[in-house]
Structure 1
């Protein structure tokens, strides 16, 4: 009995020691991540001549960024002003003004270097030797949002880039023009119908152009699976808004907490993945039976994946189902905000400079008349190209 009690006491003592060591290790790791490492990095960057904001434990400049954004939203913006950098990125703007074009800020415990020198920007983007790694969001968040080409490095990036590039050859892009023409024609008809008796009608073009972009991307990506494509676009648009409202993004483990925001993001991700898997499976079945329309991006991507696997002698696809889903999600993210914002801003600028509006209209009528636009004709639209660039 005494021996048994002694063994039990020894085991209990060992557990206490292990627990204490584990707690000590986790405390050290947390201290290293949230305090010691940022302090070392900050000193190293300042030793190289970089100036910028000081590290604030533990969230860096996130609270200050939110405060600046809130302050900017309370101020009226001059109509048609081009001075928007301070409103869109107030932290970047104030840091550059105070510390120069090459400076730094803090995203949580991670320093971010701002480069305003074109030569340095070119060097980073060329990245010939792989020295500049892409910043990483939390892995589970990337998977829920869009784990595609822009998040990859090294060999995986090279393989995906090669496969995806096949879908962007000029001849293949030409096949998508009818989809874009259809979307635009439907929008114009809807606007014309809203005029009714011909009286002037005010139209909020921003949501209209968002819908136009969503329809164009859905048709280009999925072809006949338009209904599912539109649903995916709406969900991905919501994901962007949810992500923008996530202020605690850089706190470790935050995305795993069962908050209302995190639950919504995860539910949206599950629905999008389910829809995409269904579309991909349907396209693969149609391709095997010889019925697939080769004019949409998904078919081009699937075919390119098959061809690349054959060329490399691999019995397995170079891109898995999850890889393809990630690239399709990214296709939405890369296109929806940028395109709709560009179109909206183009209309604003044309309304401000009516002489360019007249010149652009005159050029379009001269090149196309009343015919549907085609890709060859768009190469002759010099004025329109200037207006949209």
Structure 2
């Protein structure tokens, strides 16, 4: 509520001329809408903010867990990512506005999302009959569209579809998928794309960069690979890694 009140106060005092175009700003505009039929209640506003946070937080946890696992196994890519982060930011905390400068880290994040998407599929309903290739989908049937299947399809990704290879995203997502939007959709696609998409990827990148600046990490022998789905895809027994402090490696100054 404090954040909401501060934004409202700035508009009231004339410090800003609108509530903003971010998610909170759009909700506040709906809350203050002159049309009572379109206006939302304060309870709705708070609930939407909570939903946005939770929907963004869970994918961050999932994405970060699997990315750390993959880099703990593929230490060559871990070193490449660390070199990029140190070159761009040194040991300073990264700023969200600078994330677009990252190439290798973005490739790694994209590949982690391909192999371990937070949501493994999306339920949909056909409003009308649809022809899909040689199939005819009747109206009112329910479908489950699995991105996990699409992301591991050798027909799309090649014979190494099951392997961790961030290089496939070196030219961006569009090039990696030959502009096929149905080949890669870790957060869904179209108007129902997950609202936490940018929040999740940005948060995961920032935390990952801070880890890379401070530690090397390798996979612990105690790790047991057991992905399960509970709202998002996550490691049932957690991710056990062995951390090596970069500061201790540098020795006393």
Larger Rg: 1
**TM more than 0.5:** no
Q: How high is the TM-score relative to the length of structure 2?
A: 0.34
- Structure in which a larger fraction of residues adopt helix: 1
* Greater strand fraction, Structure 1 or Structure 2: 2
Larger relative contact order (C-alpha < 8 A, sep ≥ 6)? Answer: 2
Q: TM-score, normalised by structure 1?
A: 0.24
